[in-house]
Structure 1
Amino acid sequence: MANPNWRVKRQFGGRWQKRLSTRYGPWALVTGASSGIGREMVLRLAEAGINLVLIARSQTVLEQMAVALTSQHGIEVRVFVLDLSLAAGVETLVVATQDLDIGLLVAAAGFGTSGLFLNSLLEQEMEMLNVNCRSLLELIWHFGQRFAMRGRGGMVLMSSIVGFQGMPFAAHYAATKAYVQALAEALYVELAPMGIDVLAAAPGPTHSGFATRAGMQMGMALKPEDIALPILNALGRRSVLLPGVLSKLLTYSLVPLPRWSRVQIMGGVMGSMTKHQRGTIADLAEVE
């Protein structure tokens, strides 16, 4: 069976593996490694011969991946089953990986919510804040220290096109991605003199399991296998990447508009994707 990623790989030639391995090896740590964009990143890094630390909540999936990657690519793989919404998750990970020369952090873990903000569950919103922002901050700080000491390293931080303006009906999710976007852009400049590359990858709608958890119905969407390698290839070459034609189209078409107008348009887009599950504030009052 033909490899579905052959066109993407041909675009970057045969040198991308060596570049990734030389600059960011010998170990990479990937959160959200069991599915979606994170999983595709893992596969590309394994092809480059980089040893991997895989982080997710699904032990069975991670263990199966570890066996396959070790067999196919001859690399070392360590698996950590962690819930990054919990305060102790990152600290546990930092201690457990002290013996590894990790040179790359791919922070792909994250999830979203959608619908009317006042209808949301505060506990779930706090969980999203912890995964998308708090744990990310801890990972960047801890591994940034390591990278600075070794004089080189890289960080891929998953932003989103929704992080460039407010987004009604996914208000808090968009806010968490705005946090990631702003942090990544600043650290790209701040950490460069230390030999640390930082990239904000801001994809558009992607078939990754995200929409199901967020309660969204998507039409056109990107495929994780088509954007993973372009994201890794952009690391060290730019601060922000809009992977895929769809991401660029959705973002650049809004650039000439005033911010308030972009918010209204994005709210209309998200509203159409969430109307099937969106109730009213009155409905919430009746439930309470």
Structure 2
Amino acid sequence: MTRPHTPPVKGQFAPTHRPGATGMSRRQQRLHERYGPCALVTGASSGIGREIARQLAASGLDLVLVARSAAPLHQLADELIAQHGIAIQVLPIDLASGDGVDELTTATTSTEIGLYVASAGFGTSGPFLDSTLDQERDMLRLNCEAVLATSLVFGRRFAARGRGGLVLLSSIVGFQGTPNAAHYAATKAYVQTLAEALHVELRAHGVDVLAAAPGPTHSGFADRASMTMSYALSPQDVAKGTLAALGRRPTALPGPLSRVLQYSLAPLPRRARVRIMGTVMAGMTADHQRTKAQIAGTTP
């Protein structure tokens, strides 16, 4: 593997991580056989993306790790090489930038990737009218435009080789409008509907497509979105549920909390779901809004 910025981090496969080797679960063997020899994970520096990379490494897949910051990627690569003896390509790329997707496409041209996990993304919260256009545009570029472009690039590659998989990170907020996270929910609705359609379109080409729609998760997302989450999933639960669903259904609701939230809302009229999600989100962002009011000297 090669990398345009600095020498790649490399390792060799350990015999115990070959398909069918002792110590690998049936799920791990299936991941390697169906999506090997290499998986690409964006947003791999933290949270769900980082944990998905760990679980794919345990299945013996080589990895391409992508995020804006190089240091955490190299730290993760060193850890996974030591544990699993795989080969890893580290690509510190900002997919929200104008040339980020082109850079990623060029850097992976000669790499035989069989699985693409689009985990990079971020959210904002609070009243829509308080948001800044620059930040919302950045979120749109990363959560939607980059997912569109990379899904097209890797979807074509996988269709040409006759097998592969796309995992697009959606969210339970994407199933209805969500006040106090209006634009973030809209970006996830885009990802959800795109994945649902591609699941049908690409099946004939041997390509599995999955929308992973977790509920609140303990990751770097909440801090960046200025949210407080009392009850949340672990990235490990989300990663495990996502990979278990890949190739089996179009949408995963990983973790029991995701399923409880979605199934409890599903029977309700859409406008009722919108109001309920707005109330939930208002509670999760209350501390942030209170702090803003205190700074402005207008605390109720």
**Could you tell me how far 1:278 is from its partner in structure 2?**
3.0
Task: Report what 1:115 is aligned to.
Answer: 126
Q: Which residue of 2 aligns with 1:187?
A: 198
- Which TM-score applies when normalising by structure 1? 0.91
Alpha carbons 2:196, 2:210 under 8 Å: kept: yes
Distance in 2 (CA, whole Å) between partners of 1:17 and 1:245 is 22
Amino acid at match of 1:270: M
Task: Choose the corresponding residue for 1:47, options 43, 55, 58.
Answer: 58
TM-score (normalizing by structure 2): 0.88
SS of the residue aligned with 2:64?
strand
**Structure 2 Cα separation of the partners of residues 23 and 203 of structure 1:** 24
Q: Secondary structure at the match of 2:125?
A: coil
Structure 1 consecutive aligned stretches of length 4 or more whose deviation exceeds 6 Å? none
TM-aligned CA deviation for residue 17 of structure 1: 1.1
Deviation track 1:183-241 (CA, whole Å, cap 9, x = no partner) reads: 00000000000000000000000001111100111110000112212211111000001
Q: Any unmatched runs of 5+ in structure 1?
A: 1-12
Kindly indicate whether structure 1 or structure 2 has the higher relative contact order, using CA contacts under 8 Å at least 6 residues apart. Answer: 1
Question: Which residues of 2 match residues 65-214 of structure 1 at below 5 A?
Answer: 65-214=76-225
1:246 partnered with 2:281: no
Q: Whole-Å Cα distance in 1 between the matches of residues 130 and 238 of structure 2?
A: 33
Name the CA distance, whole Å, in 1 between partners of 2:214 and 2:242.
9
User: Is this contact kept in 2: 1:30–1:105, CA < 8 A?
Assistant: yes
Superposition pairs of residues 269-280 of structure 1, within 5 angstroms: 269-278=280-289
Partner of 2:238: 227
Q: Secondary structure at the match of 1:145?
A: helix
Q: Is the 8 A contact 2:241 2:253 kept in 1?
A: no
CA distance in 2, matches of 1:120, 1:277: 13
Aligned residue in 2 for 1:6? none
Q: Distance in 1 between matches of 2:246 and 2:72?
A: 27
For 1:97-132, what per-residue CA distance to the aligned partner results, in whole angstroms no more than 9, with x for missing partners?
Answer: 111110000011010000010110110000000010
Q: Distance in 1 between matches of 2:162 and 2:253?
A: 28
Letter in 2 for 1:150: R
**Contact kept in structure 2, 1:36 and 1:208, CA below 8 Å:** yes
1:261 aligned partner: 272
Deviations 1:237-262 (A, max 9, x none): 00001111111111111111110011
Query: What is the CA distance between 1:57 and its match in structure 2?
Result: 1.3
Secondary structure, in 3 states, of the residue corresponding to 2:287? coil
Between the aligned partners of 2:265 and 2:85, the Cα distance in structure 1 is 46
Counterpart contact for 1:156–1:201, Cα < 8 Å: yes
Secondary structure of the structure 2 residue equivalent to 1:278? helix
Count of matched residue pairs: 272
Q: Which amino acid aligns with 1:63?
A: H
Whether the aligned pair in 2 keeps the contact of 1:116 and 1:278 (CA below 8 Å) is: no
Distance in structure 2 (CA, Å) of the matches to 1:276 and 1:18: 45
CA distance in 1, matches of 2:241, 2:273: 27
Instruction: Look up the SS of the partner of 2:233 in the other structure.
Output: coil
Corresponding position: 1:21 with 2:45 = no
Measure the CA separation in 2 of the matches of 1:277 and 1:119.
Answer: 12
The answer (yes or no) to whether the contact 2:41–2:49 under 8 Å persists in 1 is: yes
